[in-house]
Structure 1
Amino acid sequence: MKTAIRIDSHQHFWQYNKQEFDWLDVSMAPLQRDFLPTDLKPSLETQKMDGCVAVQARQTYEETLWLLSLADQYPWIKGVVGWIDLRANDLADQLNELKKYTALKGFRHVLQGEAEPEFMLAKDFLAGLQMIAERGYCYDILVTQDQLPEVIKLVDRLPIMPLVIDHLAKPLIKEGRHSMSGKTAWHDWCHHMDSLSQLEHVHCKLSGMVTEADWQSWTAEQLFPYFEKVIDCFGPERVMFGSDWPVCQVAASYQQVVSLTECALEALCPESKNQIMGSNASKFYSL
């Protein structure tokens, strides 16, 4: 009997320097160092992962090329989600240069870091997304919960292309669903995720939850409703596991993140566990 494929759809590698990783502040001091494939491989092996998708952490073309070089060196890096300036005048030329890299599956921009909410709706940005769609690439949407109204507008203006919401759009888990502000945040997040899930080409990653909760005191019970909501609205066929390693390590070990996800899946949709832990990512990214 063939063993189900297991893929971590979301993790990062980086060579740390203070200038380019200023988002790693003092609260994330343990992450202020290099994180390379040799650091991740033991965890993948322990959790019986067949491979991973390396996602950009810096917004430089050079990092995209570096990640692709790692994929060439380590075959278990099954795919790369890189960065490219979607507004660049020479975008077509850059994409032609990248065409030779079969490990390149898609792109991402750190939209959560843009001060202007309408940034993602600018004509030049939309034109860039249109161009990568025409070339068959996927796109990872990295936003916070408060940006979801703009995301809904964005998706409505894009062609039908493979899209995935990273980290559940970073809901305000730390607020708690039972506080006054937490109830409002939960209601708004559910409403917007329901809207996005109506489009069959939009997917969602079960990733990043532990770092949106209280790093020291999160519980599986606190996170369970978020698992349940995403699986309920997107369906188990459009949801995929991602560890968000090494960022997750400020709140949980790699093993804890995998165990948390698998326990939730066993309770919510045991028949779809293999899909969510691997085959969905394999299909989405054409690994």
Structure 2
Amino acid sequence: MTHPPHETIIDAHLHVWDPSRGVYPWLGPHLAPIDRAMALPEVTPALADHGVGAAVLVQSADDDFDTELMLETARADRRIVGVVGYVPLHQPSVAADRLARLRDDPLFVGVRNLIHERDDPAWILRPDVDAGLGMLEEAGVPFDFVAAGPAALGTAAEVARRHPGLHLVLDHLGAPPLRTGLDHAEQWSQHLEFLAGCPRVYAKLSGLYLGDDPTGEALRRLGSHLRTALRLFGSERLMYGGDWPICLLHESYGRTLGLVRQVLPDLDPAAWRDVLAGTATRVYGIDPGRVKATGS
């Protein structure tokens, strides 16, 4: 069994938020443990405990205030090596102006919209939004795609088909089914196989929660899904993400990292470097010097 090399690990999917700065429509009392401001100092001890020396912040609200909060956090802490922010893709002219300003900041590395919170599951395929994606494609700016299940992963496949030059990052591995039936698993695998055939599609090993698993069935399914992803994408198109603080609704920080190490025990050192830092660095265009500085 090989182990990851002792180099800086990048968590490619971390959140911060502050309800005093603006509205997070999805946040509320039903998420009591995290229904408050969640700031970077709360997670930094856990990052250190698990050998994570750098992180990419990912948007939590479809609003500029959220992006500004992340950029402020990044400027104040050198462990943050990139910010995936928001631009209104459904308003291409507004998005173009906002994107131009964001690209002047070396910490800005990508765009995300909360498409999984939209009432219309095909919102991302609308002509106006499609034009926004075309703008990202032309600019070479990665787009994080949140898929809430196999059907949404099919929508991601359509986005990749329409925009072959877009760097598309699948958050949470496209939500592989860990407890649903075989049909869902086959649908997920088929969509993932198509997406893996698109050379500019990447996937995050994040948001993979087993929950109560007394029989170990969810763990077995997760292992199968991760091995499928590795076979289809190769290590050079996979990256680790801890999904803090969402992870606190399910488990303590670091459980996902431990699972990845557990179910992919035979990766060689070069492959571990891809999953734990290299892929995120390449896809998001992160300054390697900034990553190196986090460990100094």
Under a length normalisation based on structure 2, what TM-score does the superposition of the two structures give?
A: 0.86
Question: 1:221-240 maps to which residues of 2 (within 5 A)?
Answer: 221-240=220-239
Preserved contact between residue 144 and residue 171 of structure 1 (Cα < 8 Å): no
Deviation of the 1:275 alpha carbon: 1.6
Tell me which residue corresponds to 2:274. Answer: 275
Q: Distance in 2 between matches of 1:122 and 1:7?
A: 34
The alignment's C-alpha RMSD in Å is: 2.2
Counterpart position of 1:251 = 250
Partner of 2:201: 202
Displacement of 1:92 in angstroms is 2.1
Asked whether the 8 Å contact 1:6–1:279 carries over to 2, the reply is no
1:151 aligns with 2:148: no
Can you list the C-alpha shifts for 1:223-264, whole angstroms capped at 9, x where unaligned? Answer: 211211111111111111001111111112113222112222
Q: Give the secondary structure class of the aligned counterpart of 2:144.
A: strand
Aligned to 2:143, what secondary structure does the other structure show?
strand
Distance 2:178 2:274 in 1: 25
How far has the Cα of 1:159 moved from its partner? 4.2
Deviates more, 1:52-61 or 1:36-45: 36-45
Q: Deviations over 1:115-172 (max 9, x none)?
A: 2232111111111112122223111011222112222111111141321100111123
Change (3 A) 1:152 1:69: same
Cα distance in structure 2, aligned partners of 1:57 and 1:135: 23
Counterpart of 1:73 in structure 2 is 76
Q: How many residues align?
A: 277
1:99 aligns with 2:98: no
For 1:164-195, what per-residue CA distance to the aligned partner results, in whole angstroms no more than 9, with x for missing partners?
100111123232xxxxxx11101111111011
Contact 2:242 2:254 in 1 (8 A): no
Paired residue secondary structure (2:179): helix
**8 Å Cα contact 2:213/2:219 also seen in 1:** no
- 1:42 corresponds to: 45
User: Are 1:20 and 2:23 counterparts?
Assistant: yes
1:121 corresponding residue in structure 2:
125
Range with greater deviation from structure 2 (141-150 or 198-207): 141-150
Q: 1:214 maps to which residue?
A: 211
Which amino acid in structure 1 is aligned with residue 199 of structure 2? E
* Residue in structure 1 matched with residue 289 of structure 2 by the alignment: none
Q: Provide the C-alpha distance between the structure 2 equivalents of 1:123 and 1:216, rounded to a whole number of angstroms.
A: 43
2:172 aligned with 1:172, yes or no? no
Q: Decide whether the 8 Å contact of 1:174 with 1:214 is kept in 2.
A: no
Can you give the 5+ residue segments of structure 1 that lack an aligned partner in the other structure? Answer: 176-181
Which of 90, 95, 99 lines up with 2:94 in the alignment?
A: 90
| Letter of the 2:31 counterpart | M
Q: Tell me, yes or no, if the aligned pair for 1:216 and 1:251 is still in contact at 8 Å.
A: no
> Hey, what does 2:294 align to over in structure 1?
none
Deviation string, structure 1 residues 64-123 (Cα, Å, up to 9, x no partner): 122111111111100000111012232222222223211000101111122223211111
| 1:7-60: CA deviation from partner (whole Å, max 9, x where unpaired) | 00001001146x934534555321112211111211111111120000001110
- Percent identity of the aligned residues? 27
Determine helix, strand or coil for the equivalent of 1:44. Answer: helix
Gaps of 5+ in 2: 287-296
Q: Give the letter aligned to residue 170 of structure 1.
A: A
Counterpart AA for 1:23? W
